[in-house]
Amino acid sequence: MPTWSKYSTLFHSERFGYFLYSTMSNCLIQVDEPHYHFLQQLEMEPSVANNGFDTSFISLLKAKHILVEPGENEKLLMLKQYKKNCNCYGRGDLSLTICPTLACNFDCSYCFEHSQHDKTVMSDETIENLMVFIREKAESGKTSIIWYGGEPTLAFDIVNTITRKILASGVKLENAQLVSNGFLLNNKHLDALDDLKITNIQVTLDGPQEIHDTRRKLLNGKPTYERIISNIDRLMGSSYTGSCDIRVNIDKTNMNAFAPFRNQILKRYEGEKVSVHASKLKTPEPWGLSQSEWTDYCIRLYYEHDITTKSIFYPHSNETGLCVAHYTNMYVCGPYGELYKCWEDVGMPEMTIGNVNQKKTAENPHIQAMYTITTDTYMYEECRECSLLPVCSEICPKTWLEVRKDNSNSIEESCTHYKKHLSQCLEVFYDIYLTSETSKKLLNKPVMPLENRGFRIIANSTGSTPHQSK
């Protein structure tokens, strides 16, 4: 006899009606009131599944693992854990974040880097050894690079040299991204971007000029906004074929300025490949936003300003890792050839896991294991009891380790935001769904009204809407 899975959640939205969500199949189903009341009974007493109520609905509940046979959840969890391990521990594609220097021309109030006054740039010997490392690690797939720092435009000749060596070596360089403060971008850089396979430039602006200039100053204290904007103007007026993503680091001091600022920038670059996104700044109290405050903020941005924050409203299956720290074949490489597993560890000697110049002697080899194994939610009893485990995928390993090292009471800070905000986020997702459904109707595309069967699938495992036919 199948039973109600603990990975299933029933909820009622005042605004949108009745829903059933399964974290195991990552499927959102909308139901009418009779189906909702039936589900409430079913949750209490699984034998009502046999009373003849809507057999096609019962079949769907079984197919989506909402009603499960004994042992089914355990098998499914094992499969998910196996897939995650294959994804994270496999050699796969190589992803490298390279800091050609840690030097930076900025002195941002919140910078976490510990070595921005170190003017060292990557030496020729390190570049050669990095090439050996890349050839060895990239043998089975594609390579992608993020140019990071410090400020990578301060060592742009090294970006140039390494890219040309990779292209000449036969390694498949899929694409590259440049993470820059945007201040020094000049015509020489712009002309080279396409040849260097840089398909995206991320530049940070922390809001309108009066806010940005108080937070992101030059080392000599001078403001930076005007020059960055004029460089983005030049970038968008150049022959560069890639995109520019403007990142706005958000804390309590600039959160209210984001929406109007985003509108202003998108208007300025209308028709260009420019996007603007908000990013939660890891700043302690009183100015930093907690995870819960951040989620509330993203929900408000949606309802009040129609801004959809990426990856926050529909869960992802816990079958992949989040970042470089989770994957075996992802590394951050500093200017001395030192290797790290986290962007925030750059410049911290105690966090290096090796060095391309000393291939055989890995320093702190346990750090790689610590980031991947210690943050594996499948290992923990409290996670195995948690109904969100199958979709608990956005955990930053560094935050996890920081929050959990002293068993503090704020342990939920390291949990997925869906732990407190699942139904609120799914409501936003449904609101977005309704907009796309309205467009479909206008274009005479088929949609499945709820009234037809009393239930309909709103999203399947990837958060994408299934093809709906009558």
**Which lies closer to ligand SF4 via its Cβ, residue 53 or residue 89?**
89
| Residue with smaller CB distance to ligand SF4, 2 or 321 | 321
CB 383 → ligand SF4: shortest distance, Å? 3
The smaller minimum CB distance to ligand SF4, of residues 267 and 310, is found at 310
Cβ neighbours of residue 276 closer than 8 Å, sequence gap 6 or more:
245, 246, 248, 261, 262, 265, 266
User: Could you check whether the bond before residue 150 is cis, i.e. omega within 30 degrees of 0?
Assistant: yes
Q: Residue 417 CB, nearest distance to ligand SF4 (Å)? A: 9
**Shortest distance, position 114 Cβ to ligand SF4, whole Å:** 14
Nearest CB to ligand SF4, comparing residues 235 and 339? 339
Whether 171 and 201 have beta carbons less than 8 Å apart is answered as: no
76/383 with CB nearer ligand SF4: 383
Residue 310 vs 470, nearer CB to ligand SF4: 310
Is the peptide bond preceding residue 260 cis, with omega within 30 degrees of 0? Answer: no
Q: Rank residues 167 and 383 by Cβ distance to ligand SF4 and give the closer one.
A: 383
243, 274 Cβ separation under 8 angstroms: yes
358-387 burial: b if 16+ Cβ within 10 Å, else e: eeeeeebeebbebbbeebbbbeeeebeebb
Which residue shows structure tokens 């970038």? 235
Fill in the amino acid letter for 458: I
Nearer to ligand SF4, 261 or 343 (CB): 343
CA distance 118 to 188: 25
To ligand SF4, the closest distance from the beta carbon of 221 in angstroms equals 28
- Tally the residues of the chain: 470
Could you please report the per-residue DSSP string of 398-425?
HHHHHHHTTT-TTGGGGS-THHHHHHHH
Radius of gyration of the chain (CA): 25
> Residue 171 CB, nearest distance to ligand SF4 (Å)?
23
Shortest Å distance, C-beta 119 to ligand SF4? 25
The rounded distance, in Å, linking the Cα atoms of 255 and 419 is: 23
Query: Across the chain, how many H-helices and E-strands are there?
Result: 15, 15
Per-residue exposure over 447-460, b if at least 16 CB sit within 10 Å of its own CB, e if not: bbeeeeebbbebbe
Interface with ligand SF4 (CB under 6 A): 322-325, 342-344, 377, 382-383, 386, 388-389, 392, 396-398, 415-416, 419
Cβ at position 199, least distance to ligand SF4 in Å = 21
Minimum CB separation of residue 382 from ligand SF4 in Å reads 5
CB of 33 to ligand SF4, least distance (A): 30
Element (DSSP H or E) covering residue 332: strand 330-333
Minimum CB distance to ligand SF4 smaller for 192 or for 370: 370
Q: Three-class SS of residue 202?
A: strand
CB closer to ligand SF4, 51 vs 279: 279
What's the rounded Cα separation, in Å, for the pair 336 and 123? 8
Place of tokens 């410090």: 150
What phi and psi values does residue 169 have, to the nearest 5 degrees? -85, -10
d(CA 448, CA 32): 13
What single-letter amino acid sits at 151? E
Q: How far is the CB of 371 from ligand SF4 (least distance, A)?
A: 7
Q: For residues 131 and 67, give the distance between their C-alpha atoms in angstroms, rounded to a whole number.
A: 53
Q: How far is the CB of 416 from ligand SF4 (least distance, A)?
A: 5
Nearer residue to ligand SF4 within complex by CB, 58 or 325? 325
